[in-house]
Amino acid sequence: MLREDLVFVGTCDIAGLVRGKGFPSAELPARRKVGIGWTHSNLMQTCFGPILDTPFGTSGDLMIVPDPSSEVHVDFRDGSAPEHFFLGDIRNTDGTPWDCCVRAFLRRAIGALKDASGLELLAAFEQEFVYTGVEDVPGHAYSLSAFRRQGLFGEMLTAAIRAASVRPDSFLAEYGPRQYEMTVAPDAAMAAADAGVIAREMARAAAFRLENRAIFSPMPVADGAGNGVHIHFSLHEASGKPVTGAPDGVMGLSPVAAQFAAGVLHHLPAICAVTAPSPVSYLRLTPNRWAPTVADLKLQDRGAALRVCPVFAAKGESEREAQFNLEFRVCDAAASPYMALGALILAGVDGIARELALPKAPAALPNSLTAALDLMEASGTVKSWFGPVFFEAYLRHKRSEAAYVADLSEDDLCARYAEVY
Ligand code: GLU
Ligand code: MG
């Protein structure tokens, strides 16, 4: 068969989808500098495809410039075209970062944390999804049978994640029907968000090769089990010394980690519009689903918005410190990992800058995307993180998406989002 290698350059946009363009890999040396052409209104493509509203019209040129550290080149050795892609930054044609680049948003958050505290954040994405290539046998949550019945998918996924230079941590059969979960090892914030995107795409890529799907929609069926994206994170000095835990602190948190957590909880109702950014996200954030409903911090409690994770069999203080981490559970795969992690960090930084104390009582989370967008729009602080252009574009994108599906029943809504994610 006559074939020529192709490469794809893209970004995981505010619809939570990886979009970009491909070209012959022979062009890669030149494309490393200029990337691929893009336009402002691409940002406004909803997860359903159409641009429903845009402040940018049809004008303007941008480029997505590949980040060499994000290169994925995974050959499934089944005769299919290798997965060869780069994640990149959206830049203006003069090379400066575009106001609405999701990786620039996360980069600003990482910089803000460094400026406010001198600290760095390590993160790891734990992601749930439904694998369609397995029969649903009731009663088999976490079972060896459900683990086995997915066949080759788990091994292909694990190998693909590793071949993409991300370290797989675990793969398991989850609680819901046909639901599985994968976790990758922690890394510095930008690399961790890249890894979150890459792991998600490797699950889709492995499932595709088996003529199945990995469905990440936050709520694949109304009244079923939600697919969460849990972000584990910890704070570190530039030397690498972990500073999240302190044995005598509240729930074992160091003072700076407690302030960070207080900032996250303070801004959480508003940043739900970023971390849980679809109408179906709010079917997941309901009682009895092991998903959060209020902005709370709890010790080893999987119903909390922020969970202080356990430390397992640590020998001594330094091992305890190295393991100690928090888990942010108000996130799902409709969110771009760059945006979700960026918003989480910026909220935490505000907690550090204002030396916020942990709240006495938790605030409720919004019960719809529209309610979350109202809270986001009312927050001058969140607006300052985005800047005026990105803030308006983000709100218009998400409001147009919410209006587009406003009349659907819960069943139809879940079906539409399960097609997309
Ligand atoms: N599926 C749950 C969620 O939507 C999480 C279950 C768990 O604790 O792993 O977040
Ligand atoms: Mg889970």
CATH of the domain at 143: 3.30.590.10
90 and 162 within one domain: no
333 and 187 within one domain: yes
Domain-located, residue 268: yes
Q: Which mutation among 169, 230, 332 tests ligand 1's pocket best, with the greatest number of atoms within 8 A of CB?
A: 230
Closest protein CA for atom 3 of ligand 1: 228
Range of the domain at 29: 6-98
Count the neighbouring beta carbons within 10 Å of the beta carbon of residue 402.
18
Ligand lying nearest the CA atom of residue 302: 1
242 and 210 within one domain: yes
Check pocket membership of 302 for ligand 1, CB cut-off 6 A.
Answer: yes
| H-helix or E-strand spanning residue 283 | helix 281-284
Check pocket membership of 329 for ligand 1, CB cut-off 6 A.
Answer: yes
Of 104, 105, 11, the closest CA to residue 346 belongs to: 105
What is the number of the ligand 1 atom nearest to the C-alpha of 302?
8
Report residue 151 CA to chain centroid gap: 27
Domain-located, residue 1: no
Q: Full-prediction pTM beyond 0.75?
A: yes
Domain-located, residue 215: yes
| pLDDT at 55 (0 to 100) | 97
pLDDT in single tens digits along all 421 residues of the chain? 999 999 999 999 999 999 999 999 999 999 999 999 999 999 999 999 999 999 999 999 999 999 999 999 999 999 999 999 999 999 999 999 999 999 999 999 999 999 999 999 999 999 999 999 999 999 999 999 999 999 999 999 999 999 999 999 999 999 999 999 999 999 999 999 999 999 999 999 999 999 999 999 999 999 899 999 999 999 999 999 999 999 999 999 999 999 999 999 999 999 999 999 999 999 999 999 999 999 999 999 999 999 999 999 999 988 999 999 999 999 999 999 999 999 999 999 999 999 999 999 999 999 999 999 999 999 999 999 999 999 999 999 999 999 999 999 999 999 999 999 9
Report residue 344 CA to chain centroid gap: 11
390 and 353 within one domain: yes
**Among residues 98, 131, 149, which one ends one of the domains?**
98
Query: Based on the structure, what is the number of domains in the chain?
Result: 2
| Ligand 1 geometric centre to CA of 80 (Å) | 33
First-to-last alpha carbon distance for the chain, in angstroms, is 32
Check pocket membership of 307 for ligand 1, CB cut-off 6 A.
Answer: no
CATH number at residue 32: 3.10.20.70
Mode of pairing for the β-strands spanning 297-299 and 306-308: parallel
Of 126, 178, 120, 184, the closest CA to residue 153 belongs to: 178
Mode of pairing for the β-strands spanning 6-12 and 36-38: unpaired
142 and 21 within one domain: no
Residue labelled with tokens 């959480």: 268
Residue 204 region, left (φ>0) first, then alpha (ψ -120 to 50), else beta?
Answer: alpha
**Among residues 79, 98, 117, which one ends one of the domains?**
98
| H-helix or E-strand spanning residue 146 | helix 144-149
Structure tokens at 169: 């941590």
On the CB side of 66, how many CA atoms lie within 13 Å of its CA?
25
Check pocket membership of 292 for ligand 1, CB cut-off 6 A.
Answer: no
Count the neighbouring beta carbons within 10 Å of the beta carbon of residue 287.
7
Q: Which mutation among 302, 307, 414 tests ligand 1's pocket best, with the greatest number of atoms within 8 A of CB?
A: 302
Q: Which mutation among 128, 169, 171, 280 tests ligand 1's pocket best, with the greatest number of atoms within 8 A of CB?
A: 128
For the stretch 241-244, contacts whose Cβ atoms lie closer than 8 Å and that sit 24 or more positions apart, written own/partner, are 242/321, 242/322, 242/324, 243/119, 244/321, 244/324, 244/325, 244/326
| pLDDT at 123 (0 to 100) | 98
Interatomic CA distance for residues 421 and 409, integer angstroms: 18
At residue 36, the 3 state secondary structure works out as strand
At residue 35, the 3 state secondary structure works out as coil
